Amino acid sequence: MNQDYIKPDNWSIIEEGFEKERVKSSESLFSLGNGAMGQRANFEEKYTGPTFQGSYIGGVYYPDKTRVGWWKNGYPEYFAKVLNAPNWIGINVLINGETLDLNTCKNVQDFRRELNMQEGWYTRSFKATLPNDTIIEVKITRFLSLDHDEVGAIKYQIKAINQDSAMAFHPYLDSGITNEDTNWDDQFWNTTGVTTDGSQAFIEAHTMKTNFATCTFMESKLFHNNELVLEKPLEALSETTVVHQFKKDIKKGDTLTLIKFGGYTVSTNHKPNELIMAAKKVLQKVTEIGFEALLEQQRISWSKIWEMSDITIEGDVKAQQGIRFNIFHLNQTYLGRDSRLNIGPKGFTGEKYGGSTYWDTEAYCIPFYMATKNKKVARNLLTYRYNHLEKAIENARKLGFVNGAALYPMVTMNGEECHNEWEITFEEIHRNGAIAFAIYNYYRFTSDYTYIPEMGLEVLIGIARFWHQRATFSTQKNKYVILGVTGPNEYENNVNNNFYTNYIAKWCINYALQELQKVKDGYPDDYHRIIGVTKLTEKETEAWAKVAKKMYFPFDEKLGIYLQQDGFLDKELIPVKELNQKERPINQKWSWDRILRSPYIKQADTLQGFYFFEDHFTTEELEKHFDFYEPFTVHESSLSPCVHSIQAAKLNRMEQAYAFYLRTSRLDLDDYNKEVKEGLHITSMAGTWMSIVEGFGGMRILDDKLSFSPRIPKQWKSYSFKVNFRNRILKVKVTENETTFDLEGTDEMSIRVNGKRVVLTAGQKTYSLVN
């Protein structure tokens, strides 16, 4: 049922053979990114077949006017859209007067793509017979530099196979591009200057409304059989394009190569009037380095990333490929260098969903970045939310909340809410809980408390205020209830007393109260500053405490389980496995009302609570809830399988855990949801990492220490991962028979393995134990 054209390989994503209907999917799978910019795997040369063009610049967006059926008070006016940026990769190729276009070639042989994840480059090669019967061999190598993150590099090589040929390369820039995703067919870019200077060219354009100024640039050089051709290209300019025309007649068997550097300088990093200057500067740098040396830098930089974040799996190449694909794309999307950026659900691989930041970041991504990068990276993600606190307060105010209550947006680019379905925008408020949980999780993992007095406590106060005001006292129940919400399971809307929401609301209030006290005791200056800013009174915190204390949770005594929401047991409780396969996925086959009144669960909801607050429940309770809810779960969100994989592993159901793992790790490679052409599911990739580290490895923080309960799927010989825990690097390797811990550095470290305390000492860094 699923695609399987990607060749299994430990380190590369490989496609062989040219199939037009795979082009858009491959454009997603072979995407490149360097944290600052990204590029779908579009062809450089002209292509008239179906394609989805995408070049992206981190943090550059457009506030598209919202489109709704029926306006509701409180809706945002604008939806921040990820923006297709001017094209810098384009190179039209003419062979004996005929434009190369794989859609019209008489024959395309040996077509091959490879995304080399170990070294961070992408190559495409093929042999084509053009309509004019010229036969050529082509090989293109492309990468986006990690070291010079405004620049990408392309090496486009053509060999004349069957005859002497008149060849021409027309590298170009184009700002007359469109977005697939636009509500009103607005023009998003305004081009203000098209200039060329020798072998360099520049297009200055700024986004409408948001006014991000950019300079898209390029510089190209032509080589004949590796020898530089010194001829100056002809130039052709239009209002939104600039083309350089290189040409050369070559002999049969000769090779002509174009090296093109291109990319963007942007007003977020430079003065708007110095963008061309900045572009010239960076072009000078990279042309001096040259293509091959830059590629060597790329290999080194990626090897450093892999050094820390790689996960190895022996004995299961598809699983190995899957996890590396996930880790690779996470690193392509976000490197944590810039606290203005975040982890978009499609990263730099598509436009869908718009915005850049969902609760995915806090709930699914932070653990990966905490464990595989310096703690500054995770702290940058927290700082991002601190910087948006004022807008979260404004967002809550629009919905009638007062006194500094904060509701973080469902989807955002700059802190403002972008989404506009009432059942999500106004009601999927549990997202606020994940923001607070991430603060807790960050401190738990890094032991860096400073974030809390400096920034986090203000965020916690805003969130606690929101929950306090959002709860309703039910006289009938003599409890506080939370009415009209959508939980993580978006297949239920406007329900009352969603267990997960009520639980995290209570937890948020208690956590805020606890941290308030800690800051008061330990950081009195910060405390006074914060009280001054927030005008928090004892009366108010007492009111919070009352809500937390008397929070209601729907519970069924007979089953001994918390109910996902009030009334859940009124549903027709037919397990998913009894559904007709033709009716799946239900979100494509059923009308919305039918989904809503069904028991089917899109992604972990009650179980998300058991995931976050695992230590609040016994394993028996987890098992009972898992056994009740998982059978109704359709896992139609990319964020679903990972949490279930972790819990299945904990319950020692390794077959099930492994099945969930495969589903999450190869979701895009195998295109489970038949939508990979729209882009990849970046944030769920962090969930894949969790499936291994927290699921199979059983890694937790318990009593301020790392703890492991290693298990291994029977399909694997071994797996290994590394964790950066409070600046100590620990490598964990698990085989069927033993687990090995390998600690870098000299100090000892105390961990817990299967509940037992183990001290990894300086002298005995490697510790093995039989599983």
- In angstroms, what is the minimal distance from the CB of 606 to a second copy? 17
Select 280 or 431, whichever has its Cβ closest to a second copy: 431
φ and ψ at residue 406, rounded to 5 degrees: -120, 130
417 lies in the site for a second copy, by CB under 8 A: no
β-bridge mates for residue 193, sequence order: 204
Distances (CA, A) of 597 to 584, 627, 713: 16, 21, 37
422 lies in the site for a second copy, by CB under 8 A: yes
Distances (CA, A) of 591 to 493, 595, 598: 14, 7, 11
Contacts of 197 (CB under 8 A, 6+ apart): none
**Candidate residues 143, 369, 426, 442; the one interacting with a second copy per rule CB under 8 A:** 426
> Residues 354 to 373: which contact a second copy by CB under 8 A?
none
Distances (CA, A) of 381 to 73, 339, 369, 440, 687: 31, 6, 9, 13, 17
597 lies in the site for a second copy, by CB under 8 A: yes
496 lies in the site for a second copy, by CB under 8 A: yes
- In angstroms, what is the minimal distance from the CB of 596 to a second copy? 5
481 lies in the site for a second copy, by CB under 8 A: yes
- In angstroms, what is the minimal distance from the CB of 576 to a second copy? 17
Question: For a second copy, which stretch binds (CB under 8 A), given 213-221, 328-336, 490-498, 646-654?
Answer: 490-498
323-354: burial string, b at 16+ Cβ within 10 Å, e else = bbbbbbbbbbbbbbebbebbbbbbbbbbbebb
Site string for a second copy, 568-587 (x = CB under 8 A): -xxxxx-------------x
**Candidate residues 42, 356, 420, 647; the one interacting with a second copy per rule CB under 8 A:** 420
Residue with tokens 């090296």: 259
- In angstroms, what is the minimal distance from the CB of 497 to a second copy? 8
209 lies in the site for a second copy, by CB under 8 A: no
> Residues 65 to 94: which contact a second copy by CB under 8 A?
66-70, 72-74
520-546: burial string, b at 16+ Cβ within 10 Å, e else = beebeebbebbeeebebeeebbeebee
> What tokens were used for 396?
């809550």
Q: Output Rg (C-alpha) for the chain, integer angstroms.
A: 27
Q: Where are the alpha helices (DSSP H) in 225-354?
A: 275-289, 291-309, 317-333
- In angstroms, what is the minimal distance from the CB of 629 to a second copy? 16
360 in a labelled binding site: yes
Select 49 or 560, whichever has its Cβ closest to a second copy: 560
636 lies in the site for a second copy, by CB under 8 A: no
Select 180 or 744, whichever has its Cβ closest to a second copy: 180
Question: For a second copy, which stretch binds (CB under 8 A), given 150-158, 299-307, 533-541, 591-599?
Answer: 591-599
Distance CA 4, CA 391 (A): 45
**Candidate residues 421, 621, 623, 742; the one interacting with a second copy per rule CB under 8 A:** 421
Select 361 or 469, whichever has its Cβ closest to a second copy: 469
- In angstroms, what is the minimal distance from the CB of 187 to a second copy? 16
Residues 448, 455 contacting (CB under 8 angstroms):
no
> Residues 542 to 571: which contact a second copy by CB under 8 A?
566-567, 569-571
Residues 76, 420 contacting (CB under 8 angstroms):
yes
Select 190 or 587, whichever has its Cβ closest to a second copy: 587
φ and ψ at residue 394, rounded to 5 degrees: -60, -40
Q: Report helix, strand and coil shares of the chain as percent, to nearest 5.
A: 35, 25, 40
**Candidate residues 593, 615, 704, 747; the one interacting with a second copy per rule CB under 8 A:** 593
Question: For a second copy, which stretch binds (CB under 8 A), given 83-91, 475-483, 678-686, 695-703?
Answer: 475-483
- In angstroms, what is the minimal distance from the CB of 507 to a second copy? 21
502 lies in the site for a second copy, by CB under 8 A: no
Does 492 participate in catalysis according to the annotation?
no
Select 535 or 558, whichever has its Cβ closest to a second copy: 558
**Candidate residues 125, 268, 472, 673; the one interacting with a second copy per rule CB under 8 A:** 472
- In angstroms, what is the minimal distance from the CB of 462 to a second copy? 18
Distance CA 24, CA 31 (A): 11
Nearest alpha-carbon partner for 520 in 508, 532, 531 = 531
Residue with tokens 């290994």: 720
Select 405 or 643, whichever has its Cβ closest to a second copy: 405
Residues 309, 365 contacting (CB under 8 angstroms):
no
Residues 3, 670 contacting (CB under 8 angstroms):
yes
- In angstroms, what is the minimal distance from the CB of 395 to a second copy? 11
591 lies in the site for a second copy, by CB under 8 A: yes
Question: For a second copy, which stretch binds (CB under 8 A), given 315-323, 394-402, 656-664, 718-726?
Answer: 394-402
**Candidate residues 11, 111, 449, 590; the one interacting with a second copy per rule CB under 8 A:** 590
Distance CA 126, CA 139 (A): 7
Residues 61, 709 contacting (CB under 8 angstroms):
no
Question: For a second copy, which stretch binds (CB under 8 A), given 161-169, 395-403, 452-460, 613-621?
Answer: 395-403
- In angstroms, what is the minimal distance from the CB of 83 to a second copy? 20
- In angstroms, what is the minimal distance from the CB of 410 to a second copy? 12
Question: For a second copy, which stretch binds (CB under 8 A), given 109-117, 396-404, 602-610, 732-740?
Answer: 396-404
Select 477 or 717, whichever has its Cβ closest to a second copy: 477
Q: Hey, which bits of 502-643 come out as E strands? A: 555-556, 561-562
673 lies in the site for a second copy, by CB under 8 A: no
359 in a labelled binding site: yes
> Residues 326 to 345: which contact a second copy by CB under 8 A?
none
20 lies in the site for a second copy, by CB under 8 A: no
β-bridge mates for residue 155, sequence order: 141, 259
Please pick, among 150, 362, 416, 490, the residue that the annotation labels catalytic. Answer: 490
Site string for a second copy, 150-169 (x = CB under 8 A): --------------------
374 lies in the site for a second copy, by CB under 8 A: no
DSSP code string of 579-594: S-GGG-SHHHHS-HHH
Q: Which amino acid is at 243?
A: V
Contacts of 401 (CB under 8 A, 6+ apart): 407, 465, 466, 469, 470
Question: For a second copy, which stretch binds (CB under 8 A), given 110-118, 189-197, 207-215, 473-481?
Answer: 473-481
Nearest alpha-carbon partner for 289 in 432, 143, 493 = 143
Site string for a second copy, 28-67 (x = CB under 8 A): --------------------------------------xx
Residues in binding contact with a second copy, number by CB under 8 A: 48
- In angstroms, what is the minimal distance from the CB of 566 to a second copy? 6
Residues 381, 369 contacting (CB under 8 angstroms):
yes
Distance CA 53, CA 40 (A): 7
473 lies in the site for a second copy, by CB under 8 A: yes
67-98: burial string, b at 16+ Cβ within 10 Å, e else = eeeeeeeebbebbbbbbbbbbbbbbbbbbbeb
474 lies in the site for a second copy, by CB under 8 A: yes
Distance CA 13, CA 664 (A): 17
Burial of 614 (0-12, 13-18, 19+ CB in 10 A): middle
Report the number of secondary-structure helices (H) and strands (E) in the chain.
22, 34
Binding residues for substrate: 359-360, 602-603
Using CB under 8 A as the criterion, which residues of the chain lie in contact with a second copy when the complex forms? 66-70, 72-74, 398-400, 420-423, 426-427, 472-477, 481, 483-484, 493-497, 566-567, 569-573, 587-594, 596-597
Binding residues: 359-360, 602-603
Enumerate the active-site residues.
490
